[in-house]
Amino acid sequence: MSLPTYHLITYGCQMNKNDSERLGGLFKAMGFVSARVPEQADLVLINTCSVRQSAEDRVYSVVGNLAQIKKERPGMILGVTGCMPGRDRDGAIRKRIPEVDLYFPTAEMGQLPRWIAELRPELVNSPDLIEDYLKIRPDRHATRQAYVSIQTGCNKFCTYCVVPFARGLEKNRPLSDILEEIRDLAVHGCVEVTLLGQTVNSFRAPDAQTFSKGNPYQDHFAGLLWEINQIPQIKRLHFTAPHPLHMSDEVIEAMTLPVHLHYIHLPVQCGDDDVLRRMNRRYTIADYLDVVGRLKAKIPEIAIGTDIIVGFCGESEAAFERTVELYERVRFDISYTARYSVRSGTAAWRAFKDDVTFEEKKRRWEALQAVQERIALENNQRFVGKTVSVLVDRHEPPKITEEMLAMPGDIRKIIESQPGYGYGNSREMKLVRFRGGTEMVGQIVDVAVTRADTWLLEGNYVA
């Protein structure tokens, strides 16, 4: 008898990707194996994102396509999880996808064995339930790098955001569980860990007694960073996404510990205080700049990324220009810029008018993108002539063109013998490319940078 199969489709942020790794671990524990395509699966599950309407529209389209496959394979189970079910308080989303058999928020994934057993009992080897989904062991494909969730949910209630509705209020994992997971990763070859949370630096350990007696920090998140620094095999540590309100001096001090990357992704969302107040971000631009100043004072080489929303309710042209001015002042290395999208159920949907036109949102996005690309290129020039540390995560063989194939045999053999390129991120989260072979994938190597583009540093491997 063949093993039952599943196919998992994931949209959205790193948290969603980590949730899908847990789903994969749950399926593995149930005796399922992964199917390469939906047509080969007994169960197809979509892990959804709700951050913008376009993300949800994509899911509706995918469900429609899968429904056609389901007609040809009546036994196939079709499921939807993630943020869309999480925020669907009135069932309006559910009504739009009647073809779906399983529909549940992320926190309920531990119920899957029972639900599958009710639909197709022959697929499940055990209907045992798992109450806390964060205790499900993720099934990771990469061995050298790993995402580790330390909390889920959010208490901030930014007016534009669905996360508190989709994922619930903030829930922090026990410190003992986090450290056990990271130590296990280290034993199995992991060298880089990225900690995940909606406001990751607000972490408060429910088992504070687990902190080592020698831990010098009172701030629980800073203490967690210190604890991870004591695991010898972990060479690189990062976290996303912190909230400016919780960037204490202790957290910044802990970021100077040896394994921490020289990068922080610190969302600002807008450069105007009035817009920030309507967003319920709970800080002013002066507060944000204070955090940036303290970061740069302690870690002068730090690269800073951010999130920005353009076209939020009531954002005037002057308010947008203040965002541009902030960008120029901080000189962010990268921004994930979004055009504001109304999300039903949020405070902004109830209280404010979406009064910036689509065309104007697009114009502002393009204007900020141009500023971003110029500053990114300028910032990257400081790496030319310097050596950066790179964790190599992929390799590309040399490209053989038709013109090369037409060359004389000896020349063609020389070209084909070239090692190709290794790619990876520096400690500043800059993508780096260098000449190297497949054997370098998974290694941390030094690269002397010879050229800098907007989104790529190129250089030579330093033996």
Q: pLDDT tens across 88-125, in order?
A: 989 999 999 999 999 999 999 999 999 999 999 999 88
Percentage of the residues of the chain whose pLDDT score is greater than 90? 89
- Tell me how many domains the chain contains: 3
| pLDDT (0 to 100) of residue 40 | 94
Between CA 416 and CA 409 the distance in angstroms is 10
Which of the four pLDDT bands, split at 50, 70 and 90, describes residue 406?
low
Domain shared by 106 and 192, yes or no? no
One domain, residues 81 and 156:
no
- Among 445, 453, 427, 444, smallest CA distance to 303 is for 427
Say what percent of the chain tops pLDDT 70.
96
* More confident site: 267 or 137: 267
The sheet that has 334-339: what strands, in order across it? Answer: 263-265, 303-310, 334-339
Going by pLDDT thresholds of 50, 70 and 90, the confidence category of residue 419 is: confident
Q: What is the pLDDT of residue 412?
A: 61
Residues in the chain: 463
> Are residue 210 and residue 310 in the same domain, yes or no?
yes
Task: Judge if 370 and 388 occupy the same domain.
Answer: no
The answer to whether residue 417 scores a pLDDT higher than 70 is: no
Question: Which tokens go with 274?
Answer: 């009035």
Q: What was the pLDDT predicted at 413? A: 67
124, 23: one domain: yes
Distance CA 154, CA 267 (A): 15
Q: Residue 414's pLDDT band (boundaries 50, 70, 90)?
A: low
Whether the per-residue pLDDT at 416 is higher than 70: the answer is: no
- The CATH number covering residue 453 comes to 2.40.50.140
> Any idea of the CA torsion for 452, 253, 391, 177, to the nearest 10 degrees?
-150
- Domain end call among 358, 381, 404: 381
Contacts of 354 (CB under 8 A, 6+ apart): 313, 340, 342
Give the domain-ending residue among 117, 133, 149: 133
Sign of CA dihedral 365, 378, 322, 198: positive
pLDDT band at residue 207 using 50, 70 and 90 as cut-offs: very high
Distance between CA atoms of residues 440 and 386, nearest Å? 20
Q: Do 22 and 99 sit in the same domain of this protein?
A: yes
Domain stops at, among 334, 359, 381: 381
Per the prediction, the chain carries an average pLDDT of 94
306/422 same-domain check: no
Helix, coil or strand: residue 82? strand
Q: What is the pLDDT of residue 154?
A: 96
214 or 404, higher pLDDT: 214
Q: Read off the pTM.
A: 0.91
User: In the predicted model, is pLDDT for residue 170 greater than 90?
Assistant: yes
In single-letter form, the type of residue at position 369 comes to Q
Residues 397 and 365 in one domain: no
The closest of 281, 268, 364, 358 to 316, measured between CA atoms, is 364
Instruction: Tell me the pLDDT tens digit for each residue of 271-290.
Output: 999 999 999 999 999 999 99
Q: Are 146 and 193 in contact (CB under 8 A)?
A: yes
Q: With 70 as the cut, is the pLDDT of residue 224 above it?
A: yes
53 and 192, same domain (yes or no): no
Residue 447: give the domain boundaries: 384-462
Tell me, what's the pLDDT at 429? 98
Q: Quickly count: other Cβ atoms within 10 Å of residue 431's Cβ.
A: 15
* 416 and 453 fall within a common domain: yes
Q: What is the pLDDT of residue 265?
A: 98
Q: Which of 111, 118, 99 is nearest to 44 (CA)?
A: 99
- Residue 193 three-state SS: strand
Handedness of CA 372, 378, 381, 387 (dihedral sign): negative
Question: For residues 426 and 388, is the Cβ–Cβ distance under 8 A?
Answer: yes
| 86 and 230 inside one domain | no
Over the stretch 118-147, which tens digit does the pLDDT of each residue have? 999 999 887 678 889 999 999 998 789 999
User: In CATH, what number is assigned to the domain containing residue 370?
Assistant: 3.80.30.20
Residue 425 identity: N
- 356 and 450, same domain (yes or no): no
Over residues 19-42, the mean pLDDT reads 95
Mutual orientation of helices 285-298 and 317-330 as an angle, nearest 10°?
A: 10
Looking up residue 110, the CATH number of its domain turns out to be 3.40.50.12160
